[in-house]
Amino acid sequence: MRWTQALIPTLKESPADAEIVSHKLLLRAGLIRKLSGGLYTFLPLGFRALKKVERIVREEMDRAGALEVLMPALQPPEIWQQSGRYETASDVFFKVRDRSKKEWILGPTHEEVITTMVAGELNSYRQLPKNFYQIQTKFRDEIRPRFGLMRAKEFIMKDAYSFDVSDDAAQKSYQKMYDAYTRIFQRCGLKAIPVEADTGVMGGKYSHEFMVPADTGENEVVYCDDCNYAANIEKSTSRHIMHADLGKNDSALEKFATPGVVTIDALTKAPYGVAADRQIKTLVYIVENKPVLILLRGDHQLNEAKLVGTLGTATYRAAEAEEIFAALKAHPGSLGAIGVQGIPVYADEVLRHVTGMTTGANEDGFHVRNVSIDRDIQVKQWADLRLTQAGESCSHCGKPLKIRRAIEVGHVFKLGTKYSVALGANFSDEAQKSQPAVMGCYGIGVTRTLQAIIEQSNDKDGIIWPLSVAPYQVCMTPLNVANDGIVMKLAEQIYSELTVRGVDVILDDRDERPGVKFKDADLIGFPIRLAIGEKSLAKGEVEIKFRGGELTFVKAEEAVAKILELVKK
Ligand code: ATP
Ligand code: MG
């Protein structure tokens, strides 16, 4: 490609609405342009990089034995009703109507479609296992589309769905995808760490997310440097034994006035001085239309994913002020569970057997001290409900846990038979008995991966592409295009030789100052730059430089061989 024939609209300044470095660089390097919030056009260079990521994904899926298909983006709502997700997933749907006013859904994911296809096409254990994948546009009405391609309304996903005869067989399919994902991200030059992930209401099954560590990531990962434990914070656990730490207190309950105190923090201050870890925090949630109480230690936060797992339903929300008052006759800040009748109480396991605690009295402006949880509060269920905090002990090895932010680029998930049962994807086993297929689903955000590569690999001058996904691997920069006798003649000759040898090369044939050309090449981040100028040519040499590396000089006649070696052609 010749630069003068391409469309590479680089920008000096970052557009004001780009908040994170990768989003800024995508725009500045002329890779994408915004149409509207969460909707982007891939310009030619961005599209080339995207295709390269897709190619890696496709090669690894094929290598793992998955079969490529293409499903419709437009989906009938009936299949979502059949799977039971029409209501629960409806907040992400983009819905459209046809001329007869019938509703359709722009697919946010494809479990329902693939399972319907499989229900019609596969019927014997002899045909299993099967794994189908596609690379396709997904639509999601995200609450907060942001950060460019990271969280878009329309994005490209590779989604795969495996069908097996048994749980054991499904585990093998899962492992194949896990291994394929590891290779995909490696080949993309991306450091992506598999972490244990939450499985939501489906509960109990197995799931890993592939996370790219980045301060701008929307996820938090809890990890242990010592034993390599790593989990999404939603899923993470920590070792925390509390009653042993605090000793025993048998004193009688004692109500005391706390006028104006409505936070845990305020109660820690004089004249009360009740440490946060000696307080019981009472939260009121509405679960399937009924109030429930959730008890946590004062210095802990609720992990909503664990709450969903404990309740077995995702139909829950924090109660409104009136609902809280109706349930407990007090306002937030003075809430407690002592003597509460008819409202189920879920308590975090850290509170088991604790004594000497302080909690709200269910009377505005009052608290109660000397609470012994076993004696004073009727707990319906103990569960791990708290959010892990940095510094707590690893549940596996006891060493302190750390927390860092990360970008989720992929997700592998053992689904079980939820969809095959609902949509009739059954097969007859060896004994001619009908069984639902055991499923797994596997997603990679292809467009998000592209941006994550940039987020992880850049410097003050711009992007640093790995060779595998760079829009062009080599940028040739003749320093003076007016010199068509020597400089351009050699440039054209090397350019055509490299092109013939299948090297992805762009020739910057613009009549611009070298500084301008180098700046653009660095901003876009071509991995290898080959500069041809009168000065070094006087010594028979050209300049080769890796993006961000040192300048090296090679004999002009060896340039092609050297480049071929560098790109391993
Ligand atoms: P997130 O928690 O980030 O919303 P998710 O759990 O909804 O992700 P999945 O449904 O598992 O994601 O989708 C598979 C992959 O698709 C994700 O790992 C992510 O890389 C990508 N992805 C999901 N939502 C978006 C989006 N709005 N924009 C771009 N990529 C996305
Ligand atoms: Mg999502």
Fill in the amino acid letter for 103: E
Q: Are residues 340 and 374 located together in one domain of the fold? A: yes
pLDDT in tens, 281-328: 999 999 999 999 999 999 999 999 999 989 988 789 999 999 999 999
Coil, strand or helix: which one is 530? strand
Question: Ligand 1: which residue has its CA nearest to atom 13?
Answer: 443
- Cα–Cα distance between 514 and 508 in angstroms, integer? 10
Our answer on whether the CB atom of 408 is closer than 6 Å to any ligand 1 atom is yes
- Cα–Cα distance between 356 and 247 in angstroms, integer? 9
The answer to whether the beta carbons of residues 22 and 452 sit under 8 Å apart is yes
Our answer on whether the CB atom of 547 is closer than 6 Å to any ligand 1 atom is no
492 is a domain residue: yes
Tokens, residue 159: 């989604």
Question: Ligand 1: which residue has its CA nearest to atom 21?
Answer: 445
518 is a domain residue: yes
Our answer on whether the CB atom of 554 is closer than 6 Å to any ligand 1 atom is no
Q: Are residues 489 and 532 located together in one domain of the fold? A: yes
- What does the pLDDT read at residue 505? 98
Q: Which of 422, 434, 424 is nearest to 124 (CA)?
A: 434
244 is a domain residue: no
Our answer on whether the CB atom of 146 is closer than 6 Å to any ligand 1 atom is no
Question: Ligand 1: which residue has its CA nearest to atom 26?
Answer: 151
Residue 227 Cα, ligand 2 centroid: separation in angstroms?
30
CATH code of 92's domain: 3.30.930.10
142 is a domain residue: yes
Q: Are residues 275 and 326 located together in one domain of the fold? A: yes
User: Ligand 1: which of 137, 190, 210, 411 to mutate, most ligand atoms within 8 Å of CB?
Assistant: 411
Our answer on whether the CB atom of 525 is closer than 6 Å to any ligand 1 atom is no
- What does the pLDDT read at residue 491? 96
Our answer on whether the CB atom of 142 is closer than 6 Å to any ligand 1 atom is yes
Q: Are residues 451 and 483 located together in one domain of the fold? A: no
Q: Are residues 270 and 319 located together in one domain of the fold? A: yes
Our answer on whether the CB atom of 409 is closer than 6 Å to any ligand 1 atom is yes
Our answer on whether the CB atom of 443 is closer than 6 Å to any ligand 1 atom is yes
- Cα–Cα distance between 318 and 426 in angstroms, integer? 40
Our answer on whether the CB atom of 64 is closer than 6 Å to any ligand 1 atom is no
Nearest ligand by distance to the CA of 109? 1
- What does the pLDDT read at residue 315? 85
CATH code of 539's domain: 3.40.50.800
211 is a domain residue: yes
The residues, ordered by sequence, that sit 6+ positions from 407 with a Cβ below 8 Å of its Cβ are: 150, 211, 212, 214, 216, 217, 218, 219, 448, 452, 455
Our answer on whether the CB atom of 335 is closer than 6 Å to any ligand 1 atom is no
The residues, ordered by sequence, that sit 6+ positions from 93 with a Cβ below 8 Å of its Cβ are: 105, 106, 108, 141
Q: Are residues 260 and 230 located together in one domain of the fold? A: no
Q: Which domain holds residue 103?
A: 18-236+403-455
- What does the pLDDT read at residue 242? 65
CA-413 nearest atom, ligand 1: 11
pLDDT in tens, 76-101: 999 999 999 999 899 999 999 999 99
Q: Are residues 299 and 350 located together in one domain of the fold? A: yes
Q: Are residues 196 and 56 located together in one domain of the fold? A: yes
Our answer on whether the CB atom of 140 is closer than 6 Å to any ligand 1 atom is yes
397 is a domain residue: no
The answer to whether the beta carbons of residues 128 and 163 sit under 8 Å apart is yes
Secondary structure letter of residue 90 according to DSSP: G
Q: Are residues 217 and 306 located together in one domain of the fold? A: no
CA-218 nearest atom, ligand 1: 3
Residues of the chain with pLDDT under 70: 200-205, 241-246
Question: Ligand 1: which residue has its CA nearest to atom 23?
Answer: 445
Domain count, the chain: 3
Burial of 511 (0-12, 13-18, 19+ CB in 10 A): exposed
CATH code of 345's domain: 3.90.960.10
Q: Are residues 407 and 359 located together in one domain of the fold? A: no
9 backbone dihedrals φ, ψ, rounded to 5°: -85, 80
394 is a domain residue: no
Residue 306 Cα, ligand 1 centroid: separation in angstroms?
20
Our answer on whether the CB atom of 445 is closer than 6 Å to any ligand 1 atom is yes
- Cα–Cα distance between 122 and 553 in angstroms, integer? 61
Strand order in the sheet with 290-297: 316-318, 280-287, 290-297, 345-348, 381-383
Question: Ligand 1: which residue has its CA nearest to atom 22?
Answer: 445
- What does the pLDDT read at residue 483? 83
User: What pTM was computed for the model?
Assistant: 0.92
446 is a domain residue: yes
